[in-house]
Amino acid sequence: MSREFIVPAKIYTGEGSLELAEKELCTMGDRVLIVTDPVVIKLNCFEKLTAMLSKNRVSYTIYSDVMGEPTDTIVNAGLAKYEVEDCDCMIAVGGGSPIDTMKAIAALSVNGGKISDYMGKVIKGKMPPMAAIPTTAGTGSEATKFTVITDSKTDIKMLLKGECLIPSLAVIDPAFSMSSPKSVTASTGLDALTHAVESYTSRLAQPLTDAVAISAVKRIMKYLPVAYSDGTDTEARTQMSIAALEAGIAINNASVTIVHGMSRPIGALFHVPHGLSNAMLLEKCIGFALDGAYGRFADLGRAVNAADSTDSDEAAAKKFLAKLGEICRICEVPTLADYGIDKVKFMQSAGKMADDALASGSPANTVKPVTKENILEIYSSLWNG
């Protein structure tokens, strides 16, 4: 069966990538909207970018109001700034939130309407030039055709898609992630791990996504504990930035499965950061999916040396599942209760969350059928330790 494989038009990776990308960044358009957040705007790496633009006499304006995960309100405010300042291109600097916000602003700048109008549709149109400079190693949004925006009226995290949303330029410089605190390093790193595992075991997997997904899983299992314990370790940060990119490329072409489907509603209703809600679900959801494709999960177990050729596929798959639980514990992933979520409110919301999860389409990519009852059982199991 023939398949397509899509990546950004140009990718720069490694230390010094920002300088290497100078020409492309400074010739994108006449006036740049820089989309970022209140933390990143204070970092030295952000100052390096604006100094570069100024040196090349590139006009820019900054939208730094992306606080938390993006909502339609945040997108609308960014769009207003883009239009008032007469911008014609964008650079997002930050984690997945600024990058997703940039994509949504671009879509509305071309197609108009409300961002919720595009739920369940494929976004099209000739987008303004977009560059993504991630400061975390996790979301992979710099390489994907997806953006996740919360509808503030319905409390639904909308998964919106369209090939036109892939940034034309991605600059992955590990120096930009060196300042990430431990909590962000864990959350985003486990998000990337979830991407890699889900894409490898997705119904939409293909040989090219398999290659980058396995590579990402191996890097993350080796280097995330190092980056978590010592954020100044340059090699660990470098390897994690590559792994996040690989995992982003993988989900861009093979999509995600049950973990992401169930994670987004938790984030929308209880304001848990996306990577963290993935991590809370990871072991339970993969445990559910395991017997749907022991061979695929076994591949991952052997790739990270949790199992070997003497293990049956079932045994190797279960050893990989145990490895997932181990890395979540190393990264000190809290339970829902530890995070401060009220069990009664959570279970009262479980029906809506299950419906929203199924409506997103992600669970349908899982290697075994997923019903609303399955999702409700997993949500309930999160309170059982």
Per-domain boundaries in the chain: 10-177, 182-381
| CA-derived radius of gyration, the chain | 20
Residue-level pLDDT at 219: 98
The C-alpha atoms of residue 349 and residue 228 are separated, in whole angstroms, by 33
Q: 182-381: CATH homologous superfamily?
A: Dehydroquinate synthase-like - alpha domain (1.20.1090.10)
What pLDDT is attached to residue 385? 59
Number of residues written out for the chain: 385
pLDDT range class, residue 280, cuts 50, 70, 90? very high
- Per-residue model confidence as pLDDT tens digits over 88-137: 999 999 999 999 999 999 999 999 999 999 998 999 999 999 999 999 99
Largest CA distance in the chain: 64
- How far apart (Å, rounded) are the C-alpha atoms in residues 262 and 285? 9
pLDDT tens by residue, 259-275? 999 999 999 999 999 99
The answer to whether the beta carbons of residues 77 and 50 sit under 8 Å apart is no
At residue 179, the pLDDT reads: 84
Average pLDDT over residues 143-157: 93
Domain 10-177, what fold?
Rossmann fold (3.40.50)
Q: Is the pLDDT of residue 1 over 80?
A: no
Instruction: Give 59's pLDDT tier (boundaries 50, 70, 90).
Output: very high
Single pTM value for the model? 0.93
